[in-house]
Chains A and B, each alone.
Chain A
Amino acid sequence: MIRIEDVSKRYPGGHDALKGLSLQVDKGEMVFVTGHSGAGKSTLLRLIALIDRPTNGQVIVDGQNTSRVSRRKIPGYRRQIGMVFQDHKLLYDRPVFDNVALPLVIAGIGHRDAARKVRAALDQVSLLDKEKQFPETLSSGEQQRVGIARAIVSRPKLLIADEPTGNLDPDLSLEVMRIFRRFNEVGVTLLIASHDIALIDQLGCRRIALANGALQVEEEEDVVAEYAERLESEQERENWPQ
């Protein structure tokens, strides 16, 4: 579903957010991208959503090379991906129903058809009774679920989420992850950036760890390397002339 081939991203100013990253997410997978802030998680998602373009390398999403998606085609491309954001990115001047319906309105789907799909999406995140409320009146967790409903309302095959539980307490986070899990069970591919490792381990999904814009070496090796490093420095210290 997603193939990242030797992708680098250098931001103006010379900061390298990604350095020769390659990875693959298969259809129907639910994969987490982890790493410290600045590791390149968000950049990776931005490249997939075509908010940014890579400096080098190829991003291929569902067989479509994003470098061949022209500026004018970007809206159509984005409509095929569901996106969930840490800060929800809801429109606060309109009720929940209208927020969730927005992708359908953009796609030009008729009102009756849209209403049915919106209700189905709201039902999946258990917010059917809140469709007339405004986002401000909802809790943070509920707002995030509205964001998720909006992301899935047009039934995308791929859903990407950037720190979807970043602002939520553990219980709500788990609930959100369970919702994602359910989508995954009906065939949606998910790529979720998160640093909540405890939660991810609970779900037992594949983890892609990023560090400094590249794949992090296997954790065990990492520990060994770290240990070796410490040993070395200790030895050095011992060897130092007193």
Chain B
Amino acid sequence: MAAVKPAKKKLASRSSGPVSAWAARHASTAAAALGRLAQQPFSSLMTILVIGVTLALPAAMHLVIKNAQSISASWDNALDFSVYLKADTSLEDAQTLADIIGQRADVSQVTLVSAEDALLDFREHSGFGEALDHLTVNPLPHTLVVRPSDANTEQSMSLLNEELGNLPEADFVQVDTEWVQRFHAMLDIMQRAIAMGAGLLGAAIIVIIGNTIRLDIQSRREEIEVTKLIGASNAFVRRPFLYSGLWYGLGGGLLALALVLYGLFALKDPVARLAGLYNSGFEILALDFLESGMIIATGVALGLIGSWFAAARHMRRIEPR
């Protein structure tokens, strides 16, 4: 038939607002797809539940790691060197040394803990109390508590450690950087493992959505045939299924976000109590705006990918007979 003429006419009639007409068409398809999901609330909710839980898992693990990192980061900065001075160092020498060290650029603060103060502190907190009165001499040395400045890197920290140890007055320097480093290494491994797990779970979501959409396509086979028979393109028949996938993904993403937020809410008070017991002002780092958006966007993207695969695979085979 005259292919050109009607096409031109169509274009002209749409030229008043091709974009809005296009948007309206998509909106109505999207709404119809949503309505279709609502018609089978139970099975739709089951699918969304599976996606939500599957998405919430890596998201929650990510939060655990993120919080562990933030805790250990604060350890890093508050990492003090305890420089135990030799027993024969006088308090004056110790004070002078403290002043000298305090002028270093990589040191933010030096506190001198005299042997007497240390003993008092020890008496108060150790529970030995009166037993210590029987000591004739104070066995504790003067101690310098050196707080490095925030600008230090791992390398400059170890350099500082070395230089403090080389001071003639220093007996030994205590610093627990090693376990912090090990902890970081562990966090790194866990982070990778979670990323891999998240990849697998993402693939699982694609399969779940793909399978749901496949069943949907099969049950609407006749409808697809008829629509194709009266001139629907592949894109047209595919569209509602893509929207179904999008809704599943969006629903799953929102559910995952809700689960994670609920988990955070449920943990907030116990964590605050624990932090209180440690005299720490630590608060759980919640999801920021970007991360929340990422969870939802991931759900939507996986939904679209899953439905696209299913539609591309099964739609082409359905041709009118």
Using CB atoms and an 8 Å cutoff, list the residues of chain A in contact with chain B. Answer: 49, 51, 61-64, 72, 75-81, 83, 89-91, 93, 102-103, 105-111, 113, 150-151, 156-158
Contacts and interface: CB of A to CB of B under 8 A. Distances in A.
Q: What is the interface of chain B mostly: helix, strand, loop, or mixed?
A: helix
Contacts of B22: 108
Contacts of A108: 10, 14, 21-22, 25
Interface string B215-235: 000000001001111111110
B1 interface: yes
Contacts of B2: 62-64, 80
Interface string B1-25: 1110011001001100000011011
Interface of B: 1-3, 6-7, 10, 13-14, 21-22, 24-25, 223, 226-234, 236, 319-321
A83 B21 contact: no
Given A78-B229, A78-B231, A91-B226, A106 B3 contact: no
A64 B1 contact: yes
A87 to B, nearest CB: 10
B13 to A, nearest CB: 7
Contacts, number: 79
Contact of A79 (B25, B226, B231): B231
B320 A51 contact: yes
Contact of B1 (A72, A81, A150): A81
Given A77-B3, A107-B231, 9 more contacts: A64-B2, A75-B234, A76-B7, A79-B231, A80-B2, A90-B226, A102-B227, A109-B14, A111-B24
Most chain A C-beta atoms within 10 Å of own C-beta, residue among B1, B7, B10, B230: B230
B24 A110 contact: yes
B230 A157 contact: no
B231 A103 contact: yes
A76 B21 CA distance: 19
A61 B24 CA distance: 34
A103 B320 CA distance: 16
B24 A75 contact: no
Given A78-B229, A79-B230, A110 B21 contact: yes
Given A64-B1, A81-B1, A75 B228 contact: yes
Contacts of A49: 229
B26 to A, nearest CB: 11
Given A75-B236, A89-B226, A62 B13 contact: no
B228 A80 contact: no
| 10 nearest A-B pairs in the assembled complex, by CB-CB distance | A79-B231, A62-B1, A78-B231, A80-B1, A75-B233, A106-B232, A89-B226, A75-B231, A110-B21, A51-B320
26 contacts: A49-B229, A62-B2, A72-B233, A75-B236, A76-B233, A77-B1, A77-B3, A78-B230, A79-B230, A80-B6, A80-B231, A83-B229, A89-B226, A102-B230, A105-B25, A106-B227, A106-B230, A107-B10, A108-B21, A108-B25, A110-B13, A110-B21, A150-B230, A151-B230, A156-B1, A158-B1
Nearest to B235: A75
Given A61-B1, A63-B2, A108-B10, A103 B230 contact: yes
Contacts of B226: 89-91
Contact of A51 (B25, B234, B321): B321
